[in-house]
Amino acid sequence: MHELSVTQSILDIVLQHAKERKVQQVNLVIGQFSSIVDDSVQFYWDIIAKETLAAEAKLHFERIPGEMTCSSCNHVFHPGSETFLCPACESNAVRVSGGREFQVDSIDVE
Amino acid sequence: MCDGHNHTHSHTTTRVPVAEQILSANDRIAQRNHSLLHQKNIYGINIMASPGAGKTSVLLKTLEALQGRLKIGVIEGDPAGSIDTERAIKAGMPAIQVNTGGECHMDAVMMEDALSQLPLDDLDLLVVENVGNLICPANFRLGTHLNLVIASIPEGDDKPYKYPGMYMGMQALIVNKIDILPYVPFDMDYFQQGVEILNPGIATFPLSCRTGEGLDAWADWLVEKARAEITPK
């Protein structure tokens, strides 16, 4: 249910950067470790963006998969759901190296 | 938009770079809250956990353990009701209830509002008991010094793998209800392996609110952490 406040924040940022221009598309970059449901954001967007210059804007979600890097063998991989161990050498010397993104990257305006 | 006149024009599209964190507005207010805590010489912790992990029990036991050492105030975030606030008040702490409506987390605005209702000049430690939820509360900064996650044995050992965002967003971890370890399948090594990968070197406190085991170690650590930031009144 946190998508409502998230969507409100996205809209505020978009309108601030649109500077009175009509917004065609909103380009979002969302990492796997940031929890957000696309359909739910779109649902709230359709309601709260009404009667703004972003009413017809399309939301584009660029999804960044979770990424881990093994410090033992330098292997870079997307973690599985049951274990985070390195699939190449089974080391647990593994660190999160991607997937935290949660930002409005750009907007397309007329 | 085109009015049918016989002219040539095109709707040009311009890409405007934004590169702004979605929750930047929340983060700015969180920063304001943090400054207020700093100014009032208060150490703040934000407790996050699933419903039933033992947030309130840990809070009440921590209060007992800190008796005479730090003056504690509480902000209770729940979708509805004031059961935990009443418990905290009964235990002798100033407490403010925040009802989030349907929202699954507290945000910096709710925190700011609650702070304005607490006797900040009399407090050393502020404990925020966040809404019981493992999905999003870690995304919403409140302005506290420490994010604490309470995991509990009956929830199972796979939670770090299922809720990586939460386990990445904490600075301390309590593993509660260790007294029932003999009765449920919980692989502590598997659990801790996930935690360590997501959050290397995290301070972890296995304890039981029921037997009291491990509580002193947690309370002593918390006092030390708080005293590094504030001077108790």
Name the pLDDT band for B1 (thresholds 50, 70, 90). Answer: very low
> Can you read off the two tokens belonging to residue B32?
């304001």
Distance from CA of A47 to the nearest CA of B (A): 17
Residues 48 through 67 of chain A touching chain B, CB cutoff 8 Å = 66
Closest CA to B117 of B94, B87, B83: B94
pLDDT in tens, B175-199: 999 999 999 999 999 999 999 999 9
Residue B184 vs residues A66, B17, B198, B208: alpha-carbon distances, Å = 31, 52, 25, 15
ipTM above 0.85, yes or no: yes
Q: Do B11 and A5 touch (CB under 8 A)?
A: no
Find the CB nearest A1 among B104, B139, B164.
B104
pLDDT in tens, B95-113: 999 888 777 888 999 999 9
Q: Do A82 and B158 touch (CB under 8 A)?
A: yes
**Contact assessment for residue B65 and residue B59, using Cβ atoms and an 8 Å cutoff:** no
Name the pLDDT band for B8 (thresholds 50, 70, 90). Answer: low
Q: So what's the pLDDT on residue A70?
A: 97
Distance from CA of B113 to the nearest CA of A (A): 17
Q: Do A107 and B161 touch (CB under 8 A)?
A: no
pLDDT in tens, A1-23: 578 889 999 999 999 999 999 99
Distance from CA of B12 to the nearest CA of A (A): 6
Q: So what's the pLDDT on residue B2?
A: 47
